[in-house]
């Protein structure tokens, strides 16, 4: 028996733009990050490593601005832009998750309960990458917003901070430099662990989308392009 469906608008243009900019930025960041992490294996020179890190940081700025935009509209946006619609904190979520596991509901206007858990995990990891990445950029190649502060903190001559360059010891106080490296160490650890967690969760997210599309048949994939899902009439409210 066929199910009567209707076209329902779910994902706003702002959400869709965020999603695809995020996909492109994260793909580039992962690729460049893997090359940086395996620089010795690929025979990357010091200058090459600095160039790769510079590109990584510039793409990271795009990722960070895009993420900040999404975090903001989660509070001030409408409909399924809002956190209350996409995160697993709403009252009754545990019951909804149980019903999802028992296949009691055929389709969801927004994310299904498993999708909401995935969204939470991805946003936590992306936020970790955002914060730790800015600190690392400031301590590694002295890029904004923290680069000037860290460069000045390790400078012997505070009037010639511009002399401090990545991988150079010119005008660098060694003790202050080691102290800066100690400060950045936990941020490096967080960045690397979040990076590998994303490498695990992103394919899982894609697999979950495929499974949900086969199960719900709501045009889930194309909805992130058009904004519209095709829902059973009794589930479209």
- Collapse the DSSP code of 88 into the 3-class scheme (helix H, G, I; strand E, B; otherwise coil) and give the result: coil
Predicted local confidence at residue 237, as pLDDT: 44
Predicted local confidence at residue 232, as pLDDT: 87
Within-domain flag for 91: yes
Cβ burial of 163 (10 Å; 0-12, 13-18, 19+) is middle
What is the chain's alpha carbon radius of gyration, rounded to the nearest angstrom? 22
Give dist(CA 209, CA 213) in Å, integer.
6
Tally of structural domains, the chain: 1
Within-domain flag for 158: no
User: Hey, what are 80's tokens?
Assistant: 């399924």
Give dist(CA 151, CA 95) in Å, integer.
53
Within-domain flag for 72: yes
What contacts 89, CB < 8 A, 6 or more positions away? 83
Within-domain flag for 43: yes
- Collapse the DSSP code of 11 into the 3-class scheme (helix H, G, I; strand E, B; otherwise coil) and give the result: coil
Per the CB < 8 A criterion, the answer to whether 48 and 17 are in contact is: no
Predicted local confidence at residue 20, as pLDDT: 97
Predicted local confidence at residue 236, as pLDDT: 46
Within-domain flag for 81: yes
| CATH number of the CATH domain containing 46 | 1.20.950.20
Predicted local confidence at residue 7, as pLDDT: 92
What ranges in 77-173 are assigned the alpha helix state H? 83-86, 93-101, 113-140, 147-154
Predicted local confidence at residue 130, as pLDDT: 96
Predicted local confidence at residue 89, as pLDDT: 92
Kindly report the pTM of this predicted structure: 0.92
Q: Which domain holds residue 28?
A: 5-135+180-235
Give dist(CA 22, CA 54) in Å, integer.
19
Within-domain flag for 152: no
Cα dihedral 23, 25, 26, 29 in deg (nearest 10): 160
Within-domain flag for 157: no
What are the mean pLDDT values of the chain's consecutive 10-residue runs (237 residues total)? Answer: 82 97 97 93 93 97 98 96 94 91 86 95 98 96 95 94 92 96 96 95 95 89 94 67
Predicted local confidence at residue 234, as pLDDT: 67
Within-domain flag for 174: no
């Amino acid at each position: 028996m066929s199910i009567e469906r209707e076209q329902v608008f779910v994902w706003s243009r702002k959400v869709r733009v965020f999603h695809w900019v995020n996909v492109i930025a994260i793909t580039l960041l992962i690729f460049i990050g893997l090359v940086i992490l395996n620089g010795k294996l690929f025979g990357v020179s010091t200058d090459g490593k600095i160039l790769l890190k510079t590109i990584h940081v510039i793409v990271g700025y795009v990722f960070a601005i895009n993420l900040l935009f999404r975090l903001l509209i989660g509070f001030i946006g409408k409909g399924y832009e809002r956190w209350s619609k996409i995160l697993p904190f709403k009252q009754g979520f545990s019951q909804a998750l149980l019903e999802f596991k028992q296949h009691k509901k055929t389709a969801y206007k927004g994310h299904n309960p498993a999708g909401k858990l995935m969204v939470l995990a991805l946003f936590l990891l992306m936020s970790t990458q955002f914060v730790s990445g800015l600190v690392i950029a400031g301590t590694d190649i002295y890029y904004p917003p923290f680069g000037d502060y860290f460069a000045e903190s390790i400078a012997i001559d505070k009037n010639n901070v511009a002399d401090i360059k990545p991988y150079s010891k010119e005008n660098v106080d060694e003790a202050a430099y080691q102290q800066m490296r100690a400060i950045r160490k936990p941020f490096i650890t967080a960045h690397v662990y979040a990076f590998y967690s994303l490498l695990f969760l992103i394919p899982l997210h894609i697999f979950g989308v495929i499974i949900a599309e086969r199960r719900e048949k709501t045009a889930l994939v194309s909805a992130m392009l058009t904004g519209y899902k095709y829902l059973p009439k009794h589930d479209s409210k």
